[in-house]
Chains A and B, each alone.
Chain A
Amino acid sequence: MFGWMGFIADVDLSRNSIAWRELDEDAAKRFVGGRGYGVKIIYDELGKGVDPLGEGNVLVFVTGPLTGSMAPTSGRYSVVTKSPLTGTIFDANSGGFFGPSMKACGLDVLILRGRASSPVYLHLTDRMANILGADDLWGKDTHETRDLLVGRHGAGARVACIGPAGENLVKMAAIMNDDDRAAARGGVGAVMGSKNLKAIVANGKARTSVADPDSFSFIVKECNKLLDQNPVTSKALPRFGTAVLVNVMNEVNVLPSKNFQRPNFEEADKISGESIRKRVFIKQRACFNCGIACGRVTKTPTMHGEGPEYETAFALGSDCLVSDLDDVTEANYLCNELGIDAISMGGTIATAMELHEKGLLSEEVNWGDGEKVKELVRLTAYRQGLGEELADGSKRLAEKFRSPDSAIQVKGLELPAYDPRGSKGQGLAFATSNRGACHLRSYMVGIEVLGFPKRIDRLSAINKAGLCIVQQNLFAAMDTLVLCRFTSYALDEEHYARLLSRATGISYRPEEFLLIGERIWNMERLFNLREGFTRRDDSLPRRFLEEPHSEGSTKGQVVELDRMLDEYYKFRGWDEQGRPSPTKLAQLGIG
């Protein structure tokens, strides 16, 4: 096989056994890799009602046929499992260097099942895997863990690990790798922790071979040319990082603040990409084979690390009304060190602040208190004090305090930094996302606000479903290659299909590439339906449906979701309850 390594390592931690087998070529052709191949495994292997934190859940690490190749941003890997936060099928992916290193060990897929009787870590080398004791690592933060394991296995070793949050089964725990890269969302770190698996170390030497090197190089060159000429990937992201969006979204009433009660933040500029560059920036950081280099290495008077990103500037900043950049940055560092998804963490703290404001939560959790935000991050990671309540996410927290509308989430996943009242298509994207509120399943903001490829009326609910569906399919297909989402500012399905074809030697036309994405999307949907999710779950917090903004360019706006949802189901080939039709499933070859 070209592109793929052709092997799966199947690790049963309960039995302390590792089995190697060949990659299923037919499945690889139809689901490719990354999220696609992982979703197929989870769908096939997990019966209804498996406890996400029980021995029966499976955690799959998957790379793609472009991982480790010269394709731009080819340093990512996917983690797929059933989420303890949402109960849905869930994939999270991460950049850095771990993905290529894992693949260089001679495998495409790493399946982790069961639960070790005591803490362990997995060491991968050239088609070898060893389960090793990790008693000495348990309790260490992600930086300490990485440093100890790199010291033990050599400078070429790459480490993906959990921090205390994952060990303590915090439902928003992340898997961290390299320098603060995260497979962040959905509590994938808690699943790893539930298996008593502290880390995976990879240092293999195998190279990704492509079917047609000359032609592949030509396509790569063309892709890089487009990325170099695109203003977002060549200027905005390198100069300001993802936080370039803070002022941009604030200007158009899309940057949420005060737990989405307000559509903008008066002090946004203090936590913007510009301020980050002026005040805390040290240098850029790039993932494997990436020319964009959106990462920010930063420092505050007392700490140093990476971030904040746009999402963390929102979640730990504007959403909690915290405008002190040092506080936001340090809260971000803590999330990285302790292994927590910063979006869910910030969203859950903002929920706690709202509950306190309403008099439902007695503990002092006040808007704008940056020190308290940092304290709550620590407490959450260790499930101490109020952290015990926060550790299960905003939905459970708000339900416990009998104010479910205070949780700004979809399917249990906290919303990212876009108020859908100012980007209606994004509202549909949040509602229909198979993993809960997520901007990476479909980024309608890119069309509606940023104008990629062309700007459309962001406040209209008309004609959004078709675009949302195409984006969802494209992004799902992209996730089989595990390329960075930012490439989609400059590239489209034609480029991805060409890269995939030249790498594997298997011909994929652009429409076939999109069909792969549609197949994945529908399989994820089938999983969720099997778990009992219904149309009712394809919804948005009441705030967006019934509470219009009172000011600015989005004044009077709410999301007209039902109308978009009916259209969406119809265009998807699903019935009015959101169930894929037999015809659609037959067309996709699944079900």
Chain B
Amino acid sequence: MIIMWQEISKFSRKLFDKGYMVSHSGNLSIRCGDRMFIKRRGAACDEIGPEDVIETGIEEDTSTIALSSSETDVHRAIYKSTSALAIVHAHPPYTIACSLLYDEIIPMDAEGDYLLHKIPVVVVERLSGSKELETKLTEALQTYKGVVVRGHGTFAIGKMLEEAYHMTCMMEASCNIRYLVDLTGLGSKRDKTTQYRDW
């Protein structure tokens, strides 16, 4: 448990410092077999302590859902449908901005197209904690390791938190570049839109 909260605290702090998690918003989790450890609802992202990480079941529901993140069921659904062992849900600004502009985001930079190929944009009526979000998100994450929910934020998965953190950073870097290029109105000389649309 000590390692879990320290891991979550470390990456929460890094995401906060980068401005990808703001104040108390966003959440991270780690899967350990049939259990998962997730940030407590309402805990400040830059001050995660031992009591701010809640243990609950992947399948089995427990009373700790009264304390855990409001996205707990979304994390559960992702773990049940993918091979993920860690999830980062963040609110990186350029990725969210691009989700409001595009129906899907194809990175223009080499790092982005190598690692991400495409960032699916999931569109749902209720942006947080809904069944619709669970369904659409897990479907997208079965193919892609990073997804953005339109107007809400990113979900990235990995075998460890560092990997999910890396995916989050890559999504934001690619969206930042895409946004800047599009801002010029000149178009990119390196466009992978067609190649990666059906990845």
User: Could you list which residues of chain A lie within 8 angstroms of chain B, going by C-beta atoms?
Assistant: 225, 228-232, 234-236, 239-240, 244-248, 272-274, 450-455
Give the chain B neighbours of A454 by CB distance below 8 A.
24, 42, 44
- Given the known A-B contacts A229-B129, A231-B68, A231-B69, are A451 and B63 also in contact in the complex, defined by CB atoms under 8 Å? no
Q: With A231-B41, A453-B42 as known contacts, state yes or no: A273 contacts B129, CB within 8 Å.
A: no
Q: Which residues of B contact A235 (CB under 8 A)?
A: 65, 72-73
The 8 Å CB contact of A248, one of B66, B69, B72, B128, is B66
Docked complex Cα distance between A231 and B63 (Å): 11
- Report the separation of the CA atoms of residues A246 and B64 in the bound assembly, to the nearest whole angstrom: 10
Contact partner of B66 among A225, A236, A453, A455, CB < 8 A?
A: A236
In the complex, residue of chain A having the shortest beta-carbon distance to the beta carbon of B73: A235
Given contacts A239-B65, A450-B66, contact A231 B24 (CB under 8 A): no
- Interface contact B62-A231, CB-CB below 8 Å: no
Choose one: B51, B63, B70; the contact of A247 (CB below 8 Å): B63
B47-83 to A contact mask, C-beta < 8 Å, 1/0: 0000100000000011111111110110000000000
Known: A229-B70, A454-B24. A236 touches B42 (CB 8 A): no
- Choose one: B42, B64, B68, B129; the contact of A452 (CB below 8 Å): B42
Query: What is the bound-complex CA distance between A451 and B24, given in angstroms?
Result: 12
In the bound complex, what is the Cα–Cα distance between A239 and B63 (angstroms)? Answer: 9
> A229 to B61, alpha carbons, bound, how many Å?
17
Chain A residue at smallest Cβ distance from B41 = A231
Number of A-B contacts (CB under 8 A): 62
- The reply to whether A231 and B66 form a contact with Cβ atoms under 8 Å apart is yes
> Contact at A274–B42, with CB atoms within 8 Å?
no
A-B contact pairs, 21 of them (CB 8 A): A229-B128, A229-B129, A235-B72, A240-B61, A244-B63, A244-B66, A245-B63, A245-B66, A247-B63, A248-B63, A248-B64, A248-B66, A272-B63, A274-B63, A450-B66, A450-B67, A452-B42, A453-B42, A454-B42, A454-B44, A455-B51
- Quote the shortest CB–CB distance from B102 to chain A (angstroms): 26
Top 6 A-B pairs ranked by shortest CB distance? A236-B66, A244-B63, A247-B63, A451-B42, A231-B70, A236-B65
> Whole-angstrom distance from the CB of B80 to the nearest CB of chain A?
16
Residues of B within 8 A of A246 (CB): 63
CA of A228 to CA of B129, assembled, Å: 9
Q: Which residue of B lies closest to A455 (CB)?
A: B42
Q: How big is the B interface, by class?
A: 20 to 34
- Give the Cβ gap from B47 to chain A, nearest Cβ, in Å: 10
Query: Assuming the A-B contacts A230-B70, A244-B63, A247-B63, are A451 and B40 also in contact, with contact meaning beta carbons closer than 8 angstroms in the complex?
Result: yes
A497 to chain B, nearest CB (A): 23
The interface residues of chain A, by DSSP majority, are classed as helix
Interface status of B43 (Cβ within 8 A of chain A): yes
Chain A: minimal CB distance from B78 (Å): 17
Q: How far is the CB of B8 from chain A (nearest CB, A)?
A: 16
Additional pairs, 17, CB under 8 Å, beyond known A245-B66, A248-B67, A273-B63: A229-B70, A230-B70, A231-B66, A231-B70, A232-B66, A236-B65, A236-B66, A246-B63, A247-B63, A248-B63, A274-B63, A450-B66, A451-B42, A451-B43, A453-B42, A454-B42, A455-B51
Q: How far is the CA of A215 from the CA of B44 in the complex (A)?
A: 35
Chain B residues with CB below 8 A from A229, complex form: 70, 126, 128-129
With a CB–CB cut-off of 8 A, which chain A residues contact B70?
Answer: 229-231
A451's partner among B41, B61, B65, B73 (CB-CB below 8 A) is B41
Shortest CB distance B55–A (Å): 10
0/1 interface trace, chain B 31-45, chain A, CB 8 Å (1 if under): 000000000111110
Q: How far is the CB of B50 from chain A (nearest CB, A)?
A: 10
Residues of A within 8 Å of B62, CB to CB, are 247, 274
Specify which chain A residues have a CB less than 8 angstroms from the CB of B73 in the assembled complex.
235
Partner of A231, one of B43, B44, B51, B65: B65
Q: Which residues of A contact B41 (CB under 8 A)?
A: 231, 451
A232 to B61, CA, bound (A): 13
Report the separation of the CA atoms of residues A240 and B72 in the bound assembly, to the nearest whole angstrom.
16
**Bound: A246/B62 CA distance, A:** 11
Cα distance A274–B61 when bound, in Å?
Answer: 8
In the bound complex, do residue A231 and residue B61 qualify as a contact, i.e. CB atoms below 8 Å apart?
A: no
Measured CA separation A454–B42 after assembly (Å): 6
Interface residues of B in 1-43 (CB under 8 A from A): 24, 40-43
A450 to B70, CA, bound (A): 13
The smallest beta-carbon distance between B119 and chain A, in angstroms, is 25
